[in-house]
Structure formats: structure tokens, C-alpha cells
Amino acid sequence: MTYTGSLLSIDKNLQIPVYLQIANGIIAHIRQGVLKPGSALPGSRILATTLYVHRKTIVAAYDELYAQSWVDTFPRKGIFVAKNLPDVTPRNIVADSKTGSYPEKTFFMVDQNKIPFPEVFKAPPAYNLIINDGYPDTRLAPVELLVREYRRFANYHFLPKYLTYGPEQGSENLRIELARFLADTRGLNISPEHILITKGAQMAIYLTAEILITKNDTVIAGDPGFLGANDIFKHAGANLELVPVDEYGMDMDAVEEICKRKKVKLIYVIPHHHRPTTVTLSSERRMRLLELATRYRFAIVEDDYDYDYHYSSSPILPLASLDYCGSVIYIGSFSKTIAPGIRIGFMISPKNLIIQATRLRKLIDRQGEQLLEEAMANLLKNGDIGRHLKKSNKIYHERRDMFCQLLQKNLEGLVEFNVPDGGFAVWMKYLNGIKPQDVAEKALSAGLSISNGTAYFDDENYQHHYIRAGFASLTPKEMEDAIEILARVVKKLNGL
């Protein structure tokens, strides 16, 4: 079969050289069975004329094909598709408009329910105001300080050390500074050996679940709660037991009742600014939880994702600071302290678990980003993180107050909420039977993205009227505009 070149297309505006476009096009037709083994290819002058390119371009394309063993060349005979290639049944090019495009599905079988958790990140419309679930304002992140540290490393003679493989457990400097920082702020009496650096709190929860949980183990979590953790436990094979959360935190009577009936492997708890309700676990329940862990020998996974932001009083020390038996696995993250895109989290536990978690982390992700970890270590050492926290705490405190005042002023009698002691969000209830999904739908068309209330209770069909409304990432002007839209939508749904 003589190849005419009529099925080849080139685009001189692409960054890929034209000769490679031609070579890759011929390779594609060989793979698809259009060009058979032994088929003659057109001469360089003929193909150059057909494609309106210089003959040297075609010669370069053929040289590339020969170098990759796709063709054979014979003096005074021409260029032929290599005979040792397998014969492929040609595809119907005319009928298939997507010939050459990347396939939509694998040819082999994939269990579409292997990972049955459908939630993936979807960016809201760029023009919309956003009342998110409660994240820090990335505009306040100390990016200039971080860049300063990167530049400083660039001038160090030992920079290559941080561009190669390093400790799977995380930068030693970061673990040293983090141990000091957590001792000062949280009363944790730990050493660097007790710390594993992770990419955010989610990785730490995943590592813990994969190590501790075997199929059908019982895991206790709050409801409402953080579904991201619940999904991890389910994926690990756990049977999830849910207990209610009230104004004092997780119900310990319900926890003990489960412990009496079943062997509990671990309990997942957010004692400080519980997500989503923002409540703090009372001192009495904290002590009782530690006592239950000792009596029934289960692990406590303490997720303390936003400990550093507290407005009404000094924050309550974490459970881990009172743990003398080795029951608590303490998890935190700079992703909430600074910005979600700064993927540095940490897991703290006795050394035997850290060793196992480090080995598993190595299988998933060889190590973290050494330069970022070293830069963060310097920011902690220099006190820059402490100063950032002090400054941002003041700003978020003011934003919390303004947000709650605007809700009270514009939505009085239409919503119900308590002013949170800390964190980044308000747990709010729509009154008069208004559904969060209806509000979210109407608000989106009006230019405001807001929670539809589906990410809080483990039963996705459970009908409720709550949302988590974040204030931290909104400036005062953005806050006013967002609440104005929200109030307009809610009042309309109420027939006002």
C-alpha cells in the first residue's frame, strides 16, 4: 500500500516541531492499522509537496521514524513500514471522528464502584462571591515570607541537598521546630521522632486508618461530622457507628453504649471547633473520653485542624496533651493555619505507630517537598508563623463579629445560629422549613456560591436545614455583598 499523506495534518503554530508532527502522524496510522507492515511510504519530494513543507522536513521525519524502528529503508527502492511490526486490523477512519484522540474509557475492566465516594473538587463560577465551608483567606497567607526563604535557600551552597531524596518522615529541621511550636502552643511534650510530616491532615487520617483498621472493625464518629474522614474509614473496611453531637460536643453516653456492645478499634473526634458544628468538646467529656479509651483499649484520632484560631478565650489544650497512656493520635495541618494550597500536615503519636505510618507513606509518596518543609521550619524558628497567627487571628475575629452582625441584621427570624468561639465558620440553620439545596440553587444564579447542606450528615438523604457558612475568607465589602444576596434569596423563598 502506498501512503499518500492525505490523512496527515500539521499545525505550524504548535510548539511541537513540524517534522515530529509528521512522524507522530505516520506512527499513529501504523498503530491504527491504516499502514500495514511492508507498506511503501511516499518519497520525500512527493510528501513535501502534499503537505506544503520543505523536503528537509520530510527527511527529518523519516530519519526519526527509522531511529525509532518504525520503518526500513532500502537504497534505490524507498522507505517501507517495518515488516516485523504486528498486523493490526484497521479502524474505520471515516466513521470514527475521534480517530487519534485519547480514549474516554479503558479497554480493560475497571470497577466503577471501587472508590465509591463521588465528591471531587469543582471550582465555583469565577464571577461568583463565595461563602465557603470555612477556610482561611489565602490573601493573608505569608507568601512573601515563604518566597524569602526559598530565595535564601537558592543562595546556600547546600541547596542540592534539599533537591534530592530526603527523610520519608519529613524534614528533621521542620520536625524539631514543630515539636517546639506544639510544646509552646498546645502543651505537647514530644520529640521530632514522634512526628510524621504529611501532605495535609487528610493524608494523616488515611495513613492511620490503613494501619489500624481491618475489615469490619468498629469505628465511632460524630454525626454531623467530617465526611472526608468517614469515607476514609469506610474505604479501609470499617463499620461506622455514628453518635450525636450537641452543644457540648460528641455524646459520650452514646460512645460508652457502643463500647459495651462492640469491640471498638478507634474513635474519630474533632474536640476543638468541631466540623461542621463549631462546638468545643467539654472538659468533662474530654476526661471521660480518655478514660473510655483506656478502659476499652481503642485509639483516639484527634483532628485539630484549626486549633490556632480562637477568639473568646484561650483555646482548650488538646486531648493529646493529657494523654499519658498512648491512646491519642494527634493530627493537624498548616493548610488551615496558612492556606489550603500549603500542603503540610502532621501526625503525632508514639514511635511504634509513626514507624508504621512512615513506611506506608513511603509506598504512597516517597517524601514531602523538602524545600517547602525547610522553608516552613525557618518560618517557625524565626517566629514568622507566630506573628502571622497573631495578625490573622485579629482579622478573623473582626470578620466573625461582622459576619454574625450582618446575619442578625439581614436575616433575623429567618436563620438561627450561635456565635462560634473560634474557627472560620458559623453553623447556621434556615428556619421556616427552608431547604439548603433551594437556597444554594437560587443563590448561585444570583452570583453567590454557598453550601447546599449535603456534606455534613453521613446519610445523604437525611433532611435537615443546616449549613456551615465560612466568614474568614471574605473581606468586609465581600461579606456585605454576599449577605445581601443571601438575604434576598432567603426572603424570597419565605414569600417576603
pLDDT of residue 119: 65
Give yes or no for a contact between 336 and 135, defined as CB atoms under 8 angstroms apart.
Answer: yes
pLDDT of residue 124: 67
**Structural domain that includes position 404:** 129-134+388-493
Cα angle 61, 65, 70 (rounded to 5 degrees) comes to 155
pLDDT of residue 154: 74
CA distance 322 to 336: 24
CA distance 290 to 288: 5
User: Which amino acid would we find at residue 269?
Assistant: V
192 φ, ψ (degrees, to nearest 5): -55, -25
Give pLDDT < 50 ranges for the chain: 1-5, 93-99
Cα angle 220, 223, 229 (rounded to 5 degrees) comes to 60
CA distance 319 to 99: 59
Paired sense of beta strands 129-131 and 448-450, if any: parallel
Residues 452 and 487 in one domain: yes
In a domain, 119, yes or no: no
Residues 21 and 58 in one domain: yes
Q: Write down which residue in 321, 347, 382 finishes a domain.
A: 382
337 φ, ψ (degrees, to nearest 5): -65, -40
Q: Write down which residue in 382, 402, 434 finishes a domain.
A: 382
Give yes or no for a contact between 368 and 199, defined as CB atoms under 8 angstroms apart.
Answer: yes
Give yes or no for a contact between 342 and 201, defined as CB atoms under 8 angstroms apart.
Answer: no
Residues 83 and 149 in one domain: no
For residue 344, give the nearest of 225, 189, 171, 151 by alpha carbon: 171
Q: Write down which residue in 361, 382, 403 finishes a domain.
A: 382
CB 111: neighbour CB atoms within 10 A? 7
In a domain, 118, yes or no: no
Residues 392 and 275 in one domain: no
Residues 240 and 95 in one domain: no
DSSP annotation of 160 reads G
Q: Which residues contact 420 (CB under 8 A, 6 or more apart)?
A: 273, 278, 311, 400, 426, 427
Q: How many residues does the chain have?
A: 496
pLDDT of residue 50: 87
Q: Helix, strand, coil: what percent of the chain each, to 5? A: 40, 15, 45
Q: Which residues contact 67 (CB under 8 A, 6 or more apart)?
A: none
Number of domain units in the chain: 3
Question: Grid coordinates representing 359?
Answer: 513506611
In a domain, 480, yes or no: yes
Residues 373 and 425 in one domain: no
User: Which amino acid would we find at residue 12?
Assistant: K
Domain CATH code at residue 215: 3.40.640.10
Domain CATH code at residue 447: 3.90.1150.10
User: Which amino acid would we find at residue 186?
Assistant: R
Whole-model pTM: value is 0.83
Give yes or no for a contact between 351 and 125, defined as CB atoms under 8 angstroms apart.
Answer: no
- Residue 274's Cβ-count burial label (10 Å; 0-12, 13-18, 19+) is buried
Burial 246-258 (b: 16+ CB within 10 A, else e): eeebbbbebbbeb
Please write the tens of the pLDDT for every residue from 224-237. 999 999 999 999 99
Question: Grid coordinates representing 460?
Answer: 445523604
**Three-class SS state of 294:** helix
Domain CATH code at residue 25: 1.10.10.10
Residues 79 and 173 in one domain: no
